[in-house]
Structure 1
Amino acid sequence: MTSAPLLGHEAPLPYRPCVGVALINRAGGVFVGRRKDADRVGAAVHAWQMPQGGIDDGEAAAAAAVRELHEETNVSPALIRPLGEVPDWLPYDLPADLMKQAWKGRYRGQTQKWFAFAFLGTDEAIDVNHPGGGAHKAEFDAWRWAAFDELPGLVVPFKRPVYEAVVTAFAPLASWARSA
């Protein structure tokens, strides 16, 4: 992963390796969850995001995407089908005020590998209040299906360029059900 020097830091901070998931339903909607900590990170207006999270040591990015999706939405691997992957890693930098709070100040932001999955289940399979079968702490307090073109406006501004790239890459996949 790349890193670059930041003002006020003697050594460059690295990016945290992470995955993101565009979960697409049969109607072409994309899952977004409202972050429970939105007020803490100053994102109340732009509190929505797609599932995302860190890659464990030795874990393949695709496996991390499936794991993170389950841990944040309760969607089981049996209810998804791979549709696509953004070929490049997409980085974003945290604003300076959040950099010291997030990940104990060890990272300047994240570099993300994005995956698209078809959602084969019904809405009842999604449970953001008891994700991972209740084994994981809830990260979202609400969820909904959004149109691809809505996504960049729902997320915090510092992640917007990543979401714009994801929309460009995955919007053509919104019609997966018609071709299945």
Structure 2
Amino acid sequence: MTDKEIKENSKEKKNYRPNVAAIVLSAKYPEKCEIFIASRTDVENAWQFPQGGIDDGESANEALYRELEEEIGTREIEIIAEYPEWVSYDFPPAIAKKMYPFDGQIQKYYLVKLKKGAKVNINTEIPEFSEYKFVPTKNIYDYITFFKRTVYKQVLKYFRNEGFI
């Protein structure tokens, strides 16, 4: 996404960090639909999908594979679908301070499946997660941190309506 596109998609001229996010399905998909969620090391009880910033000169697809390797120790995935638009959310005040100069993130969402035999390893070089689990879609909101729920609901609803989950 270009700087111009990010600004055009930004509400109220806020400064959003370009980002990718992955809804990771277990290798049992489509027979069993379980989604990977993980608890952040730096925010207590903040469960989320793997995600991360897009580096300068990097495509969203390149960032997706890099971030998955950095956060969950594998790039052994198959892309099932992409959310058709970029979506944004604002950081809550406590996180906004740590993420300055960004007000939030604008994200490209991917629905991916772990390849058979892929190993998840959250004990990466710089661990971002303390634990993880695969949960049925209906149980996602028992865990997900409050400020990401609106975007997660929007994206998951789209993938459900399209018949992917």
- TM bucket by the smaller chain? 0.7 to 0.9
Partner of 1:58: 57
1 CA distance for matches of 2:35 and 2:130?
A: 17
Give the unaligned 5+ runs of structure 1: 6-11, 131-135, 175-180
Superposition TM-score, scaled by structure 2 size: 0.84
Give the unaligned 5+ runs of structure 2: 1-5
- Tell me the C-alpha RMSD between the 2 structures: 1.7
Shift of the alpha carbon at 1:100?
1.7
Which is higher, the Rg of structure 1 or of structure 2? 1
Superposition TM-score, scaled by structure 1 size: 0.77
Shift of the alpha carbon at 1:99?
1.4
Shift of the alpha carbon at 1:168?
0.9
Shift of the alpha carbon at 1:140?
0.5
Q: Sequence identity, in percent?
A: 32
Give the conservation status (yes or no) of the 8 Å contact 1:151–1:167: no
| 2:32 counterpart of 1:33 | no
SS where residue 100 of structure 1 aligns? Answer: helix
Deviations 1:95-124 (A, max 9, x none): 23331222xx2011001100011112347x
| 2:155 counterpart of 1:166 | yes
Flag the 1:63–1:112 CA change in 2: closer, same or farther, 3 A.
Answer: same
Partner of 2:15: 14
**Number of aligned residues:** 152
Flag the 1:93–1:153 CA change in 2: closer, same or farther, 3 A.
Answer: farther
Deviations 1:54-90 (A, max 9, x none): 00111111111111111111123xx311100001111
